[in-house]
Each structure stands twice: as C-alpha cells, then as structure tokens.
Amino acid sequence: MPDPFFTPISGFDLPRFAGVPTFMRLPHVEFDHPRFPEVQIGLIGAPWDGGTTNRPGPRHGPRQLRDMSTMIRAQNGATGARPFEAANCADLGDVAPNPADLMDSLQRMETFYARVRAANVRPLTAGGDHLCTLPILRALAKDRPLGMIHFDSHTDLYHSYFDGTMYTHGTPFRRAVEEGLLDPQRVVMIGIRGTAYDNEDRDFADSVGIRVIPIEEFHTRGVADVMSEARDIAGAGDTYVSYDIDFVDPAFAPGTGTPEVGGPNSYQAIEVVRELQGVTIVGADLVEVSPPFDATGATAYLGASIMFELLCVMTG
C-alpha cells in the first residue's frame, strides 16, 4: 500500500488549483527533512538562466512548472502507470543559484546535485536554461561517462560564444564531452533544426560520434523508428535524458527563448518519452521553459505533462 506521506493530494480532497504548489502536489522534502532518506526520485527546480544568450526567463520555469503541475493526476491515462506508487517521489525544492555570477551558480548546482546523488536520489529537474544540465552531469557522471538521449532543436555543442565565452546554454554538451561526462558514442540528439551559424557544432558531433537526428529525418521516419534507434544508441548503460522544451513546435510550446518552427506536436512530444521505457535513466531534466514568454501557462503545462511521462518511465 502506498505511503500516504509520498502520495500527492488528490483533486477530490483539495481542488487542483488550491494549496501550496509543489511539483505534482508531492511532499516538500528538503535535505534536512526527516523523510529525506526515503526519497527515491527527487523533483528539483533549477531557477537559473545565466547561460542564456538570447531571450531570458527560464529562471522562472520551476515556479510556473510547479503551478501547472498541480493539474496532474495520479495515473497515466495511456499506460496505466501510477508512478507515485512505484517510487517515493518528493519535491526537493530549488537549488539556490546566484543570478549575477555564472561560475558561482555552476558550483552551487554541482554541489547540490552531488548531495542528491550521494543520497541515491535520482533527480528529475525542472530548468532553468540548458547550461544547468552541465553541473548536473558533473555531479551524476563523476565516476563514469553517461549516455544521453537529448530532445532539442539545437545541439548545444558550440565551442564558445562572443569571443571565447565557454559557458552558455549553447555549449553545455561540448563541455560535457570534453570533461568526459558523456560517452559520445552513446549520445543521440533528436529534433535538431532551425537556422544555424555554421557547421561547427555538427562537425564536432561527427568527429566524436554523437548521432544527430535532424527534424526532417524525424518527420520522415516517425517516432517509433527514431526512438528504437535512440534506445539502441543509449544501450543498457546509465543514461541521462535531457529534454529542451524547444524540441516541441512553438505553437505547442511558445514559452521558450529560442524557438524554432517546424517541430513535433504535443502528441509526439509525449510519445517520444513513452518510448524510453527500458532505458536505464539515472536522471532527467526538462529545461528552457520561459514563463515571461508563456502568458497562458500552456508551455509549462506541456512541460509538466512531459515531466510526468518522464517520471513514469523512470519508475516503469
């Protein structure tokens, strides 16, 4: 029988728009909480966008994702999964960044996630911009490189911006490969599209063996075929899943800083996650939700729905 402590409040007891909004109405359990040692999956906010080179806002993502996530119910309507019964899930709160100091923020995040990992809690993070994934990987991949399944419209593999700036939301995976946090042969990037500066990122991917599946190939082959290849690439080893909301077409996810038209619809956005069943997921994130560009909350609601699907495959 599920532990009532780790059971989200039902909409039949407290209306879904009511109450202090934690992720999916889970208990708020910070490191010093007595039940923290029992947590198996930690939902964490990374309210930071200091790596953003274009339109800012993902620092507000965790707040709005929490808000919209209270509309999520207990059971996956399609698969029947009940993730909150399959694992002890909790809202660990937000990592505290330093909005005015990039390097300090990277350090604060790495320290936080190291503590999460030390407690054997698998993190499901709500960003934040995509640079947040770098300190997470530093904490999770300290001892061996991870595979990664990456949904995005950009590779985030650039070397640097603005005359040598090495840390932006366009460079995290270049750094992660350089630092040995990712095994490029076990990395696949899906949905890449939009105008490009040049071929530098794609050339790098080719040179290290990262598989890039552009959106044209995605639309031609379909979800099932692409995801089958993705599972093969990730293999049986420990794998991280990084989901940039700009993977999805901006009609479905307008609230993001660097949208690219021509992406998947919301059904495909969810299907790709369901196809992760069987992957050994050691952590996952949903990043780049930017509430200031998402007046209606639609993007955050889609983001919360994706987080729920991620939770289902992490506990499946």
**Adjacent-strand bridge partners of 190:** 151, 213
Cβ(70)–Cβ(300) under 8 Å? no
Which residue matches tokens 């190939």?
Answer: 217
Least distance from C-beta 73 to a second copy, angstroms? 4
Cβ(172)–Cβ(133) under 8 Å? yes
Pick 47 or 147: Cβ nearer a second copy:
47
> How does DSSP classify residue 8?
P
Pick 150 or 186: Cβ nearer a second copy:
150
Least distance from C-beta 182 to a second copy, angstroms? 21
Angle CA 293–298–300, to nearest 5: 80
**Cα Rg of the chain, angstroms:** 18
Closest CA to 248 of 269, 230, 226: 269
Least distance from C-beta 9 to a second copy, angstroms? 9
φ and ψ at 125, to 5 degrees?
-100, 140
Which residue matches tokens 């007891």?
Answer: 13
Pick 20 or 118: Cβ nearer a second copy:
20
Tokens of 195: 């105008």
> How does DSSP classify residue 101?
-
Least distance from C-beta 8 to a second copy, angstroms? 11
Which residues, 6+ apart, have CB-to-CB distance to 33 below 8 Å?
Answer: none
Cβ(65)–Cβ(297) under 8 Å? no
Pick 93 or 147: Cβ nearer a second copy:
93
**Adjacent-strand bridge partners of 151:** 190, 243
Pick 249 or 288: Cβ nearer a second copy:
249
Least distance from C-beta 67 to a second copy, angstroms? 7
Pick 258 or 315: Cβ nearer a second copy:
258
Pick 236 or 295: Cβ nearer a second copy:
295
Cβ(186)–Cβ(229) under 8 Å? no
Pick 239 or 290: Cβ nearer a second copy:
290
Least distance from C-beta 94 to a second copy, angstroms? 5
| CA–centroid distance for 169 within its chain | 13
Least distance from C-beta 268 to a second copy, angstroms? 9
Least distance from C-beta 301 to a second copy, angstroms? 7
| Distance in Å from the first CA to the final CA of the chain | 17
